[in-house]
Structure 1
Amino acid sequence: MTAPEENLWLATVRKNPDHSPNFAQRWRTLAAEGQDIFGEARTVDAMVARGSRILDAGCGTGRIGGWLSEQGHQVVGVDLDPHLIDVARVDYPKAQWQVGNLADFTIAGAAGERQEFDLIVSAGNVVTFLSESERLPALQQLREQLAADGRMIIGFGSGRGYAFDDFEADAREAGLALQQRYSTWNFHLPADDFLVAVLGRK
């Protein structure tokens, strides 16, 4: 599978306008059934001090960033789907939610200065939805939002058009250094089917 020429999420929504509401309802249903949908969020919580500044990149309905905001962190979530952002604002009002494409977004403070985050998380295969032309710019934008001693954690599966080696090469070009590599959000040893990469500024 080669890299997509168009953002896969936008392409899917264009073909099926009900995709976003169905996606949001699926997560709400899983939560209502008592399924554990916050595993990645618990991992992130363990990586930072209480009250940390966290960016949820490709936040969707806010299940990760929203949970983290309820633990006392200062959370901003960014996603290109306005419907999912609306759901996040309703379900998790303690966080700040913003519509934006990871390839060209900017989060500014009250005085217009660029915000920096102690940790940036991107879960749910978000990076594999990016088009080929969005991949490097997205990683560069994320790096610019990362505090000097901050960390970034990105997880996605294999067979989705973004080879792990290609991702790591893009990360290096974006000015990021791979610090740890795992195969699960529970930090199991590296494997071929899933990547959880912990990165920092070079």
Structure 2
Amino acid sequence: MSRWNDLTGGTSGKEYAGRFEALAATGKDVHGEARLCAALVPPGSRVLDAGCGTGRVAIWLAEQGYDVTGADLDPSMLDVARAKAPGLTWIESDLADLDLDDAFDLVVAAGNVIPLLAEGAESRAVSRLARTLRPDGLLVAGFGLDAAHLPVPPSVTLADYDAWCEAAGLVLERRLATWDGRPYDDGGYAVSIHRRPSSPL
């Protein structure tokens, strides 16, 4: 069972979507993750939104001309995503068991996806995500590192994550402090951009 399911019971899709709708209604930009992805690869690129939730990132990218697939374990989240964008591909799957042969230009894991996986499944999930990337493709993941930035006790360090990425054949290209592109400052949240080399290391 994932930490996310332990936290929510897998039934919080409408509540989660409502929270972001309320933020957007106040004028807050809720598309920072998607904007960063759009800055990294051009429209028309194939993007996998891993841990897509209610589809906030995937739907925005699709509206900008990206070829997007969303995957999530939580059926209540996917119900909302499918209702909002029935024309997109939504896959119900644990990321540690994700089996996609398609080659994506970018895989994004936003919203604390990595530390909300099941304990012990993180390395397998990163490996599965890396396998979906085409050569020269990017894995972009943002997550909290301390209690102030997480809804669960901290469990994943950047050293852990980098080691899982390295084992999956990925190379760290850049690390940011936020989705708006500020350089990482050793704070409690990080956005890591790893690349699958075009030739094996």
Q: TM-score, normalised by structure 2?
A: 0.88
**Aligned-partner Cα distance in 1 for 2:11–2:5:** 12
Task: Report the aligned-residue RMSD.
Answer: 1.5
- Indicate the residue corresponding to 1:70 in structure 2: 63
The match for 2:52 is 59
Runs of 4+ deviating beyond 6 Å: none
The 2-side partners of 1:195 and 1:37 are apart by 17
Take 2:8 and 2:142, find their aligned partners in 1: how far apart are those partners?
23
SS of residue matched to 1:103: helix
Question: Do the aligned partners of residues 104 and 18 (structure 1) sit closer, same or farther apart at CA in structure 2, a change above 3 Å counting?
Answer: closer
Match of 1:151 in 2: 138
CA contact (8 A) 1:66 1:94 kept: no
Give the structure 2 partner of residue 106 of structure 1. 99
Question: Residues 20-60 of structure 1: CA distance to partner in whole angstroms, max 9, x if unpaired?
Answer: 33222212222333321101111111111211100000000
Percent of residue pairs identical = 40
Q: Once the 2 structures are TM-superposed, how far is the Cα of residue 18 of structure 1 from its aligned partner?
A: 5.0
Counterpart of 2:180 in structure 1 is 186
Bigger mean CA deviation after superposition, 154-163 or 119-128 = 154-163
| Alpha-carbon displacement from aligned partner over 1:128-158 (angstroms, at most 9, x marks no partner) | 1012321011011001100111111111111
Stretches of structure 1 that go unaligned for 5 or more consecutive residues are 1-5, 108-113
Contact 1:69–1:94 (CA under 8 A) maintained in structure 2: no
Number of residues paired by the alignment? Answer: 189
Tell me the SS of whatever aligns to 2:181: coil
How much does 1:174 deviate?
A: 1.9
- Alignment correspondent of 1:121: 108
Q: What CA distance in whole angstroms lies between the structure 2 residues aligned with 1:83 and 1:90?
A: 11
